[in-house]
Amino acid sequence: MFYGEYSHSLDSKGRVIIPAKFREVVKEHFADKFYITRGLDRCLFIFTEEAWKSQERKFRELSFTKSEARKFNRLYFSGACDSVCDKQGRILIPDYLKQYAEIQEEVVIIGVSDRIEIWAKEKWKEFFKDHQGSFEELAEKLMTDKEKE
């Protein structure tokens, strides 16, 4: 669904342009709403409505009697908001999410299959630099683990 890496800047109102290729994917699925929440590694996760509902179902199945499940769900869902692109393809990122992801002005927007991630530009550069060398090792480990299942 979503693939690629794009650099953008927030405008003065805290909006960011969703790349045109990503907006086309959303239109193909007859959706116009995105869900934004705290992601892992200090980025933001953005889901289409369909993907969000799927995530919601998975996390709803976690037992609320388990402390870790309650904590995760609280942090994940309390950070969530929905957003619709304006005519220029921009969405508003709430201040509390910008703070969480340490976003100032420059961002990198990446497609990660069923979700979009928004990173503070410097955070993405740091993440990429720290992990690009382990790409082959990760692939080998994950594929080996998958074969064992």
- Tens digit of each residue's pLDDT (9 = 90 or more) over 7-36: 999 999 999 999 999 988 887 776 778 999
Residue 62 inside a domain? The answer is yes
Q: At 56, which amino acid appears?
A: E
**Average pLDDT, rounded, for the chain:** 92
Report the C-alpha gap between 42 and 59 in whole angstroms: 20
Weakest-pLDDT range from 9-13, 123-127, 141-145: 141-145
Domain contains 140: no
- Does residue 105 lie in a domain region? yes
Residue 38 structural domain: 2-121
Q: Is 146 among the domain residues?
A: no
Residue-wise pLDDT for 79-112, tens only, equals: 999 999 999 999 999 999 999 999 999 999 999 9
CATH number for the domain that contains residue 77? 3.40.1550.20
CA 148/CA 91 separation, integer angstroms: 42
Instruction: Give the number of other Cβ atoms within 10 Å of residue 107's Cβ.
Output: 26
> Is residue 101 domain-resident?
yes
| In a domain? residue 54 | yes
Q: What's the burial of 108, exposed, middle or buried (CB within 10 Å: 0-12/13-18/19+)?
A: buried
Question: Is 127 domain-assigned?
Answer: no
Task: Indicate the number of domains in the chain.
Answer: 1
Does residue 90 lie in a domain region? yes
**Mean pLDDT for the stretch of residues 40-59:** 94
Written as six digits, the tokens of 45 are 């996760």
Read off the pTM. Answer: 0.90
